[in-house]
Amino acid sequence: MPDRPFSVPLSDHALVGMVVVLLVLMLLPFYPGWSVQESYLESSGDEPQMSFIHHQTFVDQTPLDVLIAGGSYAWNGLDPKVLEQAFSERYRRPFRAINIALNEGKDQTYLFVKNLTMRRKVRMVIINDFFSPISTPHENAFRRWLLTEHWNLMGQLPIKSSFGFYTESILGAPRHLLSLLRPNRPAHLPERQKFFESNGFNPLRGNFRNLTQFTDFNPELLPLPAEELFYRDDLQEKYFFKNESPDETLLIIQRALARHLRDMGIELVYVHIPRYHLVYGGHRVEANFNPLRWIGPDDEYLAAPRSRLFAGLGDADLQRLYFNNHLNENGARAFTRQLMPALAQLLDRLQEEGNFK
C-alpha cells in the first residue's frame, strides 16, 4: 500500500495530544468561572476549620466587631469569646468576634481576610506579627489560590514567587474543574459545620488540652494600662528587634492586605503574641525583625514585655499557659484579657468616630 502523503505517525499524534493537554492545564487557571466558595469547601476534609471559615465568609452576614487572623500563634493565642463577653458588657449589646487564623497563615491570611471583608461588614482586624521567613506558598494554596482573583497582586510579586503561585493554580485546576461536575465536599461536612458553629473559635486548643493533660488555670494577672501596650518611639528600649528581614513576598502580600483594609475603612491592629521559649524572664519585646518598618502609619502595634504580661508567674505556672511554643486555652484567655485596655481604647475611638455602633 502506498504511503499517504498527509498521514501522521501515531507517535506524533501522541506528542500533539500531550502538548494540547499541557496547554489546557497551563490555561485552566485563567478560567474566570472558578468558585471561591467551592474552593473553601473542597479542603474542609483535610483542614477541619475550613468549614467554619467557609460559613463565616459566605453564609453568616452578621456584622463583625473584631476579626482575628494570621498564623498558628493567632490561632492559639487570641480568644474571641473573651472579647465577646467583655465588650458585650461594655457596650450593652451583642459584640461579635471570630478567629479565622490558620496554621502557617502566610498567603492564606491575605486570602481569608480579603474574601471575608468583601462580603461582610468588619470594624477591626487583628493579625499577629509573626511572619514565616519562607516564601513558598501555603501548603494548601493549590486548593484556594485562584489566579483570576489575585491577578493584580501576582504582578507585584517577585518572578519566582509569581511562578510558584501560578504552579499552585495549575495543580489545583483539575480539582476546580471537577467541582463543575460535582461538589468536592467531604461526607462529614454537616457534622463539622455544627461543631464549629457551636464551638466557633479554636478547635486546636481542644487538642492541646489532651496533649498536655490540660487543667484549667485562670491566674489573676495585674492589668496593663493601655499606654504600656501601644508601641511608641519613647518606648524603644523595651523592644529588641533582630536584624532579620521579613520575606519580600510575604511583605508585599501583607502590605496589599493593609491597603485593602484601609480602602474598606477597617481598623488594622498588629499584635505581638509571646512564644514560650522567649517568655520566662523576658524584659523586652523580642521579634525576628522590626515590624514597624512594614506596618502603615495609621496601623496600631500592640506588644508588651513578657515579664509585664505574666508578672508574678513562675516557670511552673507559665507552663500551664503553653503547649510547645504556643499559648493554650489558659494562655489565650489570660493574654487576651491583658490586651483589653488597649483594644477598648481603639474600639471607643471607632465608636466616637461613628464607625462602631
Q: What pLDDT, in 10s, does the model give residues 328-357?
A: 888 899 999 999 999 999 999 998 887 655
Which residues 6+ apart lie within 8 Å of 314 measured at CB?
none
pLDDT-based confidence at residue 307 (cuts at 50, 70, 90) = confident
Q: Is the pLDDT of residue 34 over 90?
A: no
Q: Is the pLDDT of residue 76 over 60?
A: yes
Give the C-alpha distances (Å, rounded to integers) separating 57 from 52, 248, 256, 321.
Answer: 9, 28, 20, 31
DSSP assignment letter at 70:
S
pLDDT-based confidence at residue 36 (cuts at 50, 70, 90) = confident
| Other CB atoms within 10 A of residue 103 CB | 18
Q: Specify the pLDDT at position 262.
A: 93
User: In terms of pLDDT, which residue wins out, 326 or 281?
Assistant: 326
Residues 211, 195: Cα–Cα separation, whole Å: 20
Which of 19-33, 244-258, 263-277, 300-314 is most confident? Answer: 263-277
pLDDT-based confidence at residue 31 (cuts at 50, 70, 90) = confident
Mean pLDDT taken over the chain: 78
Give the C-alpha distances (Å, rounded to integers) separating 79 from 85, 95, 112, 116, 231.
Answer: 11, 13, 18, 19, 22
Which residues 6+ apart lie within 8 Å of 115 measured at CB?
36, 57
CB half-sphere exposure, 59, CA atoms < 13 A:
12
Q: Is the pLDDT of residue 267 over 90?
A: yes
Q: Specify the pLDDT at position 291.
A: 72
Is residue 59 a contact partner of residue 116, using CB atoms and an 8 Å limit? no
Q: Is the pLDDT of residue 238 over 80?
A: no
Give the C-alpha distances (Å, rounded to integers) separating 287 from 135, 244, 251, 291.
Answer: 18, 9, 15, 8
The conformational region for residue 265 under phi > 0 = left, psi -120 to 50 = alpha, else beta, is left
Q: What percent of the chain has pLDDT over 70?
A: 77
Which string of b and e fits 184-214 if b means at least 16 CB within 10 Å? Answer: bebeebeebbebbeeebbbebbeebeeeeeb
Q: Specify the pLDDT at position 212.
A: 47
Q: 83-92, 177-186, 226-235, 290-299: lowest mean pLDDT where?
A: 177-186
Q: Specify the pLDDT at position 186.
A: 57
Q: What is the pLDDT of residues 80-139, one digit of tens each?
A: 999 999 999 999 999 999 999 887 777 888 999 999 999 999 999 999 875 555 567 777
| Other CB atoms within 10 A of residue 180 CB | 12
Residues 302, 274: Cα–Cα separation, whole Å: 11
Mean pLDDT to the nearest integer, 214-239 = 79
pLDDT-based confidence at residue 200 (cuts at 50, 70, 90) = very low
- 349-351-355 Cα angle (round to 5): 105
Q: 62-66, 93-97, 161-165: lowest mean pLDDT where?
A: 161-165
| Strands 326-327 and 300-302, bridge-based pairing | unpaired
Alpha helix ranges (H) inside the chain: 10-27, 36-41, 50-54, 72-77, 80-91, 106-117, 141-144, 151-154, 159-181, 189-199, 203-211, 248-263, 306-309, 315-319, 329-352
pLDDT-based confidence at residue 203 (cuts at 50, 70, 90) = very low
Record the cell numbers describing residue 99, joined without a space: 478567629
Domains in the chain, ordered, with CATH? 58-135+188-352 (3.40.50)
DSSP assignment letter at 3:
P
**What 3 state SS string does 143-192 have?**
HHCCHHHCHHHHCCCCHHHHHHHHHHHHHHHHHHHHHHHCCCCCCCHHHH
Q: 6-20, 21-35, 176-190, 262-276: lowest mean pLDDT where?
A: 176-190
| Strands 322-323 and 326-327, bridge-based pairing | antiparallel
Q: Specify the pLDDT at position 211.
A: 46
Q: Specify the pLDDT at position 201.
A: 40
